[in-house]
A and B are shown apart, each in its own frame.
Chain A
Protein backbone atom coordinates (compact mmCIF):
# COMPACT_ATOMS: atom_id res chain seq x y z
CA UNK A 1 0.00 0.00 0.00
CA UNK A 2 2.81 2.40 0.93
CA UNK A 3 4.74 1.41 -2.19
CA UNK A 4 1.67 2.08 -4.31
CA UNK A 5 1.31 5.51 -2.76
CA UNK A 6 4.97 6.27 -3.43
CA UNK A 7 4.60 5.35 -7.09
CA UNK A 8 1.54 7.53 -7.35
CA UNK A 9 3.43 10.43 -5.79
CA UNK A 10 6.32 9.98 -8.24
CA UNK A 11 3.90 9.86 -11.16
CA UNK A 12 2.06 12.99 -10.04
CA UNK A 13 5.33 14.85 -9.48
CA UNK A 14 6.57 13.81 -12.91
CA UNK A 15 3.37 14.96 -14.57
CA UNK A 16 3.52 18.28 -12.71
CA UNK A 17 7.13 18.67 -13.76
CA UNK A 18 6.31 18.02 -17.40
CA UNK A 19 3.46 20.48 -17.55
CA UNK A 20 4.10 24.10 -18.39
CA UNK A 21 7.71 23.42 -19.34
CA UNK A 22 9.42 25.76 -21.74
CA UNK A 23 9.53 24.52 -25.29
CA UNK A 24 12.65 22.59 -26.20
CA UNK A 25 13.40 20.34 -29.12
CA UNK A 26 12.83 16.68 -28.30
CA UNK A 27 15.88 14.44 -28.30
CA UNK A 28 16.54 11.71 -30.83
CA UNK A 29 15.45 8.94 -28.47
CA UNK A 30 12.20 10.71 -27.62
CA UNK A 31 11.51 11.42 -31.28
CA UNK A 32 12.26 7.86 -32.29
CA UNK A 33 10.09 6.39 -29.55
CA UNK A 34 7.21 8.73 -30.31
CA UNK A 35 7.45 8.00 -34.03
CA UNK A 36 7.43 4.26 -33.50
CA UNK A 37 4.52 4.48 -31.04
CA UNK A 38 2.45 6.56 -33.43
CA UNK A 39 3.14 4.42 -36.46
CA UNK A 40 2.57 1.08 -34.80
CA UNK A 41 0.20 1.68 -31.89
CA UNK A 42 -1.71 4.92 -31.58
CA UNK A 43 -2.45 5.98 -35.14
CA UNK A 44 -5.30 3.83 -36.46
CA UNK A 45 -6.69 3.30 -39.93
CA UNK A 46 -3.72 1.40 -41.30
CA UNK A 47 -5.89 -0.85 -43.46
CA UNK A 48 -8.31 1.85 -44.63
CA UNK A 49 -8.23 2.42 -48.35
CA UNK A 50 -8.66 5.77 -50.06
CA UNK A 51 -12.03 5.67 -51.86
CA UNK A 52 -10.92 8.45 -54.20
CA UNK A 53 -9.01 7.69 -57.36
CA UNK A 54 -5.63 9.31 -57.76
CA UNK A 55 -6.29 11.73 -60.60
CA UNK A 56 -5.24 15.25 -61.53
CA UNK A 57 -8.65 16.45 -60.35
CA UNK A 58 -8.30 14.74 -56.96
CA UNK A 59 -4.83 16.18 -56.50
CA UNK A 60 -6.22 19.61 -57.35
CA UNK A 61 -9.10 19.11 -54.91
CA UNK A 62 -6.63 17.98 -52.26
CA UNK A 63 -4.42 20.98 -52.80
CA UNK A 64 -7.44 23.25 -52.47
CA UNK A 65 -8.66 21.54 -49.30
CA UNK A 66 -5.13 21.63 -47.88
CA UNK A 67 -5.11 25.34 -48.64
CA UNK A 68 -8.12 26.04 -46.43
CA UNK A 69 -6.12 25.98 -43.25
CA UNK A 70 -3.43 23.25 -43.21
CA UNK A 71 -1.12 25.78 -44.86
CA UNK A 72 -0.99 27.87 -41.71
CA UNK A 73 1.27 25.28 -40.08
CA UNK A 74 2.50 23.20 -43.01
CA UNK A 75 3.01 25.83 -45.70
CA UNK A 76 1.58 25.66 -49.20
CA UNK A 77 4.02 22.92 -50.15
CA UNK A 78 3.50 20.81 -47.02
CA UNK A 79 7.14 21.35 -46.20
CA UNK A 80 6.81 24.30 -43.82
CA UNK A 81 8.03 26.87 -46.30
CA UNK A 82 7.54 30.30 -44.78
CA UNK A 83 5.97 29.04 -41.54
CA UNK A 84 7.88 31.02 -38.93
CA UNK A 85 7.17 28.81 -35.92
CA UNK A 86 7.46 25.40 -37.57
CA UNK A 87 10.83 24.59 -36.05
CA UNK A 88 9.97 26.07 -32.66
CA UNK A 89 7.04 23.83 -31.79
CA UNK A 90 7.73 20.79 -29.66
CA UNK A 91 7.70 18.49 -31.47
CA UNK A 92 8.52 20.65 -34.50
CA UNK A 93 6.14 20.62 -37.45
CA UNK A 94 7.35 17.78 -39.65
CA UNK A 95 7.87 18.10 -43.36
CA UNK A 96 5.01 16.16 -44.89
CA UNK A 97 7.39 15.03 -47.60
CA UNK A 98 9.65 13.40 -45.01
CA UNK A 99 10.20 9.67 -44.83
CA UNK A 100 8.49 9.52 -41.44
CA UNK A 101 5.26 11.05 -42.71
CA UNK A 102 5.28 9.35 -46.08
CA UNK A 103 5.80 6.07 -44.24
CA UNK A 104 2.25 6.15 -42.95
CA UNK A 105 -0.39 4.32 -44.96
CA UNK A 106 -3.09 6.37 -46.70
CA UNK A 107 -5.55 5.29 -44.03
CA UNK A 108 -3.23 6.42 -41.25
CA UNK A 109 -2.72 9.81 -42.87
CA UNK A 110 -6.48 10.25 -43.13
CA UNK A 111 -6.84 9.16 -39.49
CA UNK A 112 -4.28 11.76 -38.42
CA UNK A 113 -6.02 14.51 -40.40
CA UNK A 114 -9.36 13.52 -38.90
CA UNK A 115 -8.30 12.95 -35.31
CA UNK A 116 -5.14 14.95 -34.82
CA UNK A 117 -2.20 13.78 -32.74
CA UNK A 118 -1.73 14.34 -29.03
CA UNK A 119 0.59 15.47 -27.64
CA UNK A 120 1.50 17.69 -30.58
CA UNK A 121 0.15 20.74 -32.32
CA UNK A 122 -1.75 18.65 -34.88
CA UNK A 123 -5.47 19.37 -34.46
CA UNK A 124 -8.41 17.16 -35.39
CA UNK A 125 -10.23 18.18 -38.57
CA UNK A 126 -13.38 16.19 -37.92
CA UNK A 127 -16.43 18.37 -38.68
CA UNK A 128 -14.16 21.03 -40.15
CA UNK A 129 -13.40 19.05 -43.29
CA UNK A 130 -15.58 16.35 -44.76
CA UNK A 131 -14.41 12.84 -45.62
CA UNK A 132 -13.85 13.53 -49.31
CA UNK A 133 -11.74 16.58 -48.54
CA UNK A 134 -9.61 14.64 -46.06
CA UNK A 135 -9.05 11.80 -48.52
CA UNK A 136 -8.22 14.26 -51.29
CA UNK A 137 -5.63 15.83 -49.00
CA UNK A 138 -4.06 12.40 -48.59
CA UNK A 139 -3.74 12.23 -52.38
CA UNK A 140 -2.16 15.69 -52.42
CA UNK A 141 0.30 14.62 -49.72
CA UNK A 142 1.48 11.82 -51.99
CA UNK A 143 2.22 14.34 -54.74
CA UNK A 144 3.64 17.34 -52.93
CA UNK A 145 5.38 19.96 -55.04
CA UNK A 146 9.07 20.62 -54.58
CA UNK A 147 9.99 22.54 -51.46
CA UNK A 148 9.52 26.28 -51.80
CA UNK A 149 8.00 26.08 -55.27
CA UNK A 150 4.68 27.57 -54.15
CA UNK A 151 6.11 30.37 -52.06
CA UNK A 152 4.91 31.29 -48.59
CA UNK A 153 1.35 31.39 -47.22
CA UNK A 154 -0.04 34.88 -47.76
CA UNK A 155 -0.59 35.44 -44.04
CA UNK A 156 3.17 35.31 -43.57
CA UNK A 157 4.36 36.79 -46.86
CA UNK A 158 1.86 39.64 -47.04
CA UNK A 159 0.93 38.64 -50.58
CA UNK A 160 -2.69 39.03 -51.59
CA UNK A 161 -3.63 35.37 -51.90
CA UNK A 162 -2.38 31.80 -52.03
CA UNK A 163 -3.37 31.08 -55.63
CA UNK A 164 -0.20 29.42 -56.75
Chain B
Protein backbone atom coordinates (compact mmCIF):
# COMPACT_ATOMS: atom_id res chain seq x y z
CA UNK B 1 0.00 0.00 0.00
CA UNK B 2 2.85 2.33 0.97
CA UNK B 3 4.61 1.43 -2.28
CA UNK B 4 1.46 2.29 -4.21
CA UNK B 5 1.30 5.68 -2.52
CA UNK B 6 4.96 6.33 -3.32
CA UNK B 7 4.44 5.34 -6.90
CA UNK B 8 1.41 7.61 -7.11
CA UNK B 9 3.41 10.49 -5.67
CA UNK B 10 6.24 9.85 -8.11
CA UNK B 11 3.81 9.73 -11.01
CA UNK B 12 2.26 13.03 -9.90
CA UNK B 13 5.70 14.68 -9.71
CA UNK B 14 6.64 13.35 -13.14
CA UNK B 15 3.35 14.58 -14.56
CA UNK B 16 3.90 18.06 -13.14
CA UNK B 17 7.39 18.17 -14.56
CA UNK B 18 6.31 17.33 -18.11
CA UNK B 19 5.67 20.05 -20.66
CA UNK B 20 7.73 23.00 -21.67
CA UNK B 21 8.71 24.14 -18.22
CA UNK B 22 10.35 21.77 -15.79
CA UNK B 23 11.07 23.03 -12.33
CA UNK B 24 14.42 21.74 -11.18
CA UNK B 25 17.01 22.50 -8.56
CA UNK B 26 19.05 24.66 -10.89
CA UNK B 27 16.33 26.41 -12.82
CA UNK B 28 13.73 25.73 -15.42
CA UNK B 29 14.26 23.68 -18.52
CA UNK B 30 12.49 24.89 -21.62
CA UNK B 31 12.17 22.66 -24.64
CA UNK B 32 12.55 24.41 -27.97
CA UNK B 33 11.90 22.70 -31.26
CA UNK B 34 13.46 24.01 -34.46
CA UNK B 35 11.99 23.16 -37.81
CA UNK B 36 11.90 24.75 -41.24
CA UNK B 37 11.27 27.69 -40.75
CA UNK B 38 10.46 28.51 -37.14
CA UNK B 39 11.35 27.88 -33.54
CA UNK B 40 8.61 26.59 -31.29
CA UNK B 41 8.20 28.41 -29.00
CA UNK B 42 9.57 31.43 -30.86
CA UNK B 43 9.94 33.52 -27.72
CA UNK B 44 10.42 32.99 -24.02
CA UNK B 45 10.31 35.24 -20.99
CA UNK B 46 12.75 34.82 -18.13
CA UNK B 47 13.62 36.86 -15.07
CA UNK B 48 16.89 38.71 -14.71
CA UNK B 49 19.38 36.45 -12.96
CA UNK B 50 17.25 33.36 -13.51
CA UNK B 51 19.05 30.27 -14.74
CA UNK B 52 17.22 28.60 -17.59
CA UNK B 53 18.23 25.50 -19.51
CA UNK B 54 17.23 25.55 -23.15
CA UNK B 55 16.80 22.04 -24.48
CA UNK B 56 17.03 22.19 -28.23
CA UNK B 57 15.59 19.76 -30.74
CA UNK B 58 15.62 19.78 -34.51
CA UNK B 59 12.58 18.23 -36.12
CA UNK B 60 14.10 18.13 -39.60
CA UNK B 61 17.34 19.54 -41.01
CA UNK B 62 20.33 20.95 -39.10
CA UNK B 63 19.64 24.32 -37.48
CA UNK B 64 21.32 26.34 -34.79
CA UNK B 65 20.23 28.78 -32.13
CA UNK B 66 22.29 31.94 -32.24
CA UNK B 67 21.69 34.65 -29.62
CA UNK B 68 24.82 36.75 -29.77
CA UNK B 69 24.07 39.01 -26.82
CA UNK B 70 23.53 36.04 -24.54
CA UNK B 71 26.51 34.11 -25.82
CA UNK B 72 24.42 31.34 -27.30
CA UNK B 73 25.55 29.59 -30.48
CA UNK B 74 24.41 25.99 -30.50
CA UNK B 75 24.04 23.71 -33.48
CA UNK B 76 20.94 21.51 -33.42
CA UNK B 77 20.93 18.19 -35.25
CA UNK B 78 17.87 15.99 -35.62
CA UNK B 79 18.02 13.08 -33.19
CA UNK B 80 20.71 14.75 -31.08
CA UNK B 81 19.09 17.14 -28.57
CA UNK B 82 21.42 19.85 -27.34
CA UNK B 83 21.25 21.97 -24.23
CA UNK B 84 22.47 25.43 -23.41
CA UNK B 85 22.10 27.31 -20.15
CA UNK B 86 21.52 31.01 -19.85
CA UNK B 87 21.46 33.29 -16.82
CA UNK B 88 20.73 36.76 -18.20
CA UNK B 89 22.02 39.50 -15.96
CA UNK B 90 20.46 42.37 -17.85
CA UNK B 91 16.78 43.04 -18.47
CA UNK B 92 15.67 43.62 -22.04
CA UNK B 93 14.81 41.89 -25.29
CA UNK B 94 17.44 39.69 -26.90
CA UNK B 95 17.06 38.70 -30.50
CA UNK B 96 18.11 35.29 -31.69
CA UNK B 97 18.00 33.50 -34.99
CA UNK B 98 18.87 30.32 -36.79
CA UNK B 99 22.57 30.50 -37.51
CA UNK B 100 22.73 27.51 -39.82
CA UNK B 101 21.39 28.06 -43.32
CA UNK B 102 18.38 25.79 -43.67
CA UNK B 103 16.60 26.88 -46.84
CA UNK B 104 14.28 29.46 -48.33
CA UNK B 105 12.78 30.71 -45.06
CA UNK B 106 15.99 30.63 -43.03
CA UNK B 107 16.10 34.41 -42.62
CA UNK B 108 12.75 34.60 -40.86
CA UNK B 109 13.59 31.90 -38.34
CA UNK B 110 13.89 34.02 -35.22
CA UNK B 111 13.82 33.47 -31.48
CA UNK B 112 13.37 36.17 -28.86
CA UNK B 113 14.29 36.15 -25.19
CA UNK B 114 12.50 38.69 -23.03
CA UNK B 115 14.30 39.27 -19.77
CA UNK B 116 12.23 40.99 -17.13
CA UNK B 117 13.54 42.87 -14.11
CA UNK B 118 13.20 41.40 -10.64
Interface residues of A (CB under 8 A from B): 65, 68, 125-130, 132-133
Contact = CB atoms under 8 A, between A and B. Distances in A.
Contacts of A68: 101
Count chain A CB atoms within 10 A of each CB in B98, B101, B104, B109 and give the residue with the most: B101
Contact of A125 (B97, B98, B107, B109): B107
- Chain B interface bracket (under 10, 10 to 19, 20 to 34, 35 or more): 10 to 19
Nearest to A129: B107
Contacts of A132: 68, 97
Interface string B84-118: 00000000000001100100111111100000000
Contacts of B101: 65, 68, 129, 133
11 contacts: A68-B101, A125-B107, A126-B107, A127-B105, A128-B104, A128-B105, A128-B107, A129-B101, A130-B109, A132-B97, A133-B107
A143 to B, nearest CB: 20
B104 A130 contact: no
A11 to B, nearest CB: 36
A128 B68 CA distance: 19
Nearest to B101: A68
Contacts of B109: 130
A12 to B, nearest CB: 35
Contact of A129 (B68, B106, B110): B106
Contacts of B110: 130
Contact of B97 (A126, A128, A130): A130
The A interface, classified by DSSP as helix, strand, loop or mixed, is mixed
A68 B106 CA distance: 11
Contacts of A126: 107
A79 B107 CA distance: 25
Nearest to B66: A132
Between B106, B108, B110, the greatest number of chain A beta carbons within 10 A of the residue's beta carbon is seen for: B106
A52 to B, nearest CB: 11
A127 B97 contact: no
Nearest to A132: B97
Most chain B Cβ neighbours within 10 Å, of A126, A128, A129: A128
Nearest to B109: A130
7 A-B pairs with least C-beta separation: A127-B108, A68-B101, A127-B107, A130-B107, A129-B107, A130-B97, A128-B107
Nearest to A133: B107
B70 to A, nearest CB: 15
Contacts of A125: 107
A129 B110 CA distance: 11
